[in-house]
Amino acid sequence: RPLGYAIVGLGTYGLGVIIPQFANCTHSRLAAVVSGDPAKAQRVAAEHGLPARSVYSYANFDSIRDNPDVDIVYVCLPNSMHAEYTIRAAKAGKHVMCEKPMAVSVAECEAMIAACKRANRKLMIGYRCHFEPFNLEAMRLARSGAAGKIRYVRTEHGFTQGSPSAWRLKRALAGGGSLMDMGVYSLQAARYMTGEEPIAVTARESTDRRDPRFTEVEDMIEWTLEFPSGAIAGCQSMYSANQNHILLMGDKGRIELEPATRYDGNHMWTGRDGREREVTPPAGPAKTQFAGQLDHLAQCVRSGAEPIVSGEEGLRDMRIVEAIYRSAREGRTIRLDGRA
């Protein structure tokens, strides 16, 4: 049978994006919902034919251990709650899919990995771009030398914030500003497109602190990653404009995506010898990137394989995120390779 997911947090992403995607899955199905709003949870459960015993609140969440219909818990909560619910899920004997950013600190990521290891459960991060056809094709083209040796990556991600009261703009819930949200896409892209781990980072933050949205967290942050091959990535995120772009410059040409990492409607072209060519990627591993992501963890649970975007991958990003913030704060380059 398809493995059962419990969705924790019935917000824009959990309810609006993920739950409808089970219809596109082969190995996964919706098995339970966890919400602070009982009326909403019951309505969603009824719509999807879930029994009353598969509706949980945050208070009785731990009793999910007794529900054999639930194999995997998917944490779709504000960032600062990811660690707590991942660890509680693992203790309840469930595998975990956790949304990005994995948590709000390296220490939390390490605790999440340890809890899942101790419980002998899988932990995967919701890095959907690893299942998205345009990003997969760009990775393949970059690796196959379609643009020559990659020398430079440029990537910007942002989305305009509205109300200053949103949790994304509260440090205690978000852990930071645009870097903790859209910045994760820029950072991930720099790493998966080059296939390298950065050895140093230099960052600069630019925020108008008079803007009521940005009293607690950053708006714009730019950072440069240096890779062992000599490639450089100029990355950026912001909360005061919409942007979604990845450019790979090689010594023989370019690969460019814009929009690059959206839910759908991404667009890609290559440029070589002065000629641009639009690229239509082959179909991805599943009907949609979301179904690919959901089914990947289900298949890993079955086979025992490690997810391609495991907790360790989330931890790698969080180490760099902490270095980005530190670099911006201290105004200097931070080495990531242990060298002085």
Q: Which residue is nearest to ligand NAD (CB)?
A: 11
Distance CA 65, CA 44 (A): 21
- Smallest separation (angstroms) from ligand NAD to the CB of 320: 17
- Smallest separation (angstroms) from ligand NAD to the CB of 272: 31
Residues near ligand NAD (CB under 6 A) are 9-14, 36, 76-79, 99-100, 126, 128, 167, 173, 181
The interaxial angle of helices 133-143 and 183-194, nearest 10 deg, is 40
> Which residues are within 8 A (CB) of 52 and not within 5 positions of it... i.e. 6 or more apart?
42, 45
Distance CA 203, CA 332 (A): 8
Measured from the CB atom, the residue of 11 and 148 that comes closer to ligand NAD is: 11
Measured from the CB atom, the residue of 127 and 227 that comes closer to ligand NAD is: 127
Measured from the CB atom, the residue of 121 and 128 that comes closer to ligand NAD is: 128
- Smallest separation (angstroms) from ligand NAD to the CB of 40: 8
Measured from the CB atom, the residue of 130 and 154 that comes closer to ligand NAD is: 130
**CB-based burial label for 278 (10 Å; 0-12, 13-18, 19+):** exposed
- Smallest separation (angstroms) from ligand NAD to the CB of 24: 15
> Which residues are within 8 A (CB) of 65 and not within 5 positions of it... i.e. 6 or more apart?
91, 92, 93, 94
Q: Which of 185, 192, 239, 325 is catalytic?
A: 185
Does residue 263 carry a catalytic annotation?
Answer: no
Q: Which of 5, 85, 94, 100 is catalytic?
A: 100
Does residue 252 carry a catalytic annotation?
Answer: no
Peptide bond into 307 cis (omega under 30): no
- φ and ψ at residue 294, rounded to 5 degrees: -65, -45
Give the residue numbers marked as catalytic: 100, 185
